[in-house]
Amino acid sequence: MKILVTGANGQLGQELVQQLLKQNMELFAYTKSDLDICDLNTVIEVVKKIQPHVIINAAAYTKVDLAESNQELAFTVNAYGQRNLTVAANKVGAKVCYVSTDYVFNGNATEPYEEYALANPIGIYGKSKYAGEQLTQTLSTKYFIVRTAWVYGEYGPNFVKTMLRLAREKDELGVVSDQIGSPTYTVDLAEFIIELVQTEKYGIYHCTNGGSCSWYEFAKAIFEEANIDIKVNALTTEQYPTPAKRPSYSVLGDTALKLNNFKPARHWREGLKAFLQNYWK
């Protein structure tokens, strides 16, 4: 199977590449500098030349706060970049997989959002990703949309690495305690995506590690698992203002995953433990 991966230098992209290299796949991995997904003609040219069976778009503009003042760029990458890949996929009969986000929801729920719950993003980042979802659904009949959340892993910057770095620099930290979600280890997310795209079980999926927590609880768990002694104070969102509003509750339910006979990912604490065993020595 020929698989084309965009965003190959990103946090998830690098993990996808590492896992795909270990499998019997013909892999074509493109970084931002290799392929500008915002250029429709170039995308079509590359895809026609390769004739992939699957395109996995792991490229994204993920700077949530900066997106508020860079709306055009966020939509260009997250919506129209995905449109370009979907149009190109159609020309060669390829499946397309779009990695989306919990930020397509407004955060007013009190129980996990299922896959077909009404999306209503409150920030530019979420709006641009939801636009990408809509374009994918409109233009393709062979699509997978995989929403995920609070992603961390070996590659690139993320919350876990930030906490570990800050613990070296400070003896006390404040972390927001009134935003609830599900941390997701890139190893588990990439495994699911690779399994999914080899099927024809098209549609929207939610893939996070199991369970949920606040950022404060997540930070406490990081320090516990890493055996770091540091004082962590719980902050409210009001005490830690940011340019972009964030959903206060964005836990994703995984009904579609279960109904299509995929195995749910392990609990977030188990994923964290596995990551730290490899990364924090």
Q: What is the pLDDT of residues 72-111, one digit of tens each?
A: 999 999 999 999 999 999 999 999 999 999 999 999 999 9
Task: State the catalytic residues.
Answer: 125
Domain ranges within the chain, ordered by starting residue: 2-157+184-210+250-266
Give the pLDDT score at 281.
Answer: 66
CATH superfamily of 2-157+184-210+250-266: NAD(P)-binding Rossmann-like Domain (3.40.50.720)
CB 270 within 8 Å of CB 188: no
Half-sphere exposure of 11 (CA within 13 A, CB side): 21
Q: What is the pLDDT of residues 163-179, one digit of tens each?
A: 999 999 999 999 999 99
In DSSP notation, the chain reads -EEEEESTTSHHHHHHHHHHHTTT-EEEEE-TTT--TT-HHHHHHHHHHH--SEEEE------TTGGGT-HHHHHIIIIIIHHHHHHHHHHHT-EEEEEEEGGGS-S--SSPBPTTSPP---SHHHHHHHHHHHHHHHH-SSEEEEEE-SEE-SSS--HHHHHHHHHHH-SEEEEE-S-EE--EEHHHHHHHHHHHHTS---EEEE---BS-EEHHHHHHHHHHHTT---EEEEE-GGGS--SS---SB-PBP-HHHHHTTPPPPPBHHHHHHHHHHHH--
Give the pLDDT score at 240.
Answer: 87
Q: Which residues pair with 235 in a beta bridge?
A: 176
Mean confidence (pLDDT) of the chain? 96
Q: Which residues pair with 100 in a beta bridge?
A: 147
pTM above 0.85, yes or no: yes
Percent share of the chain, pLDDT over 90 = 96
Residues of the chain with pLDDT under 50: none
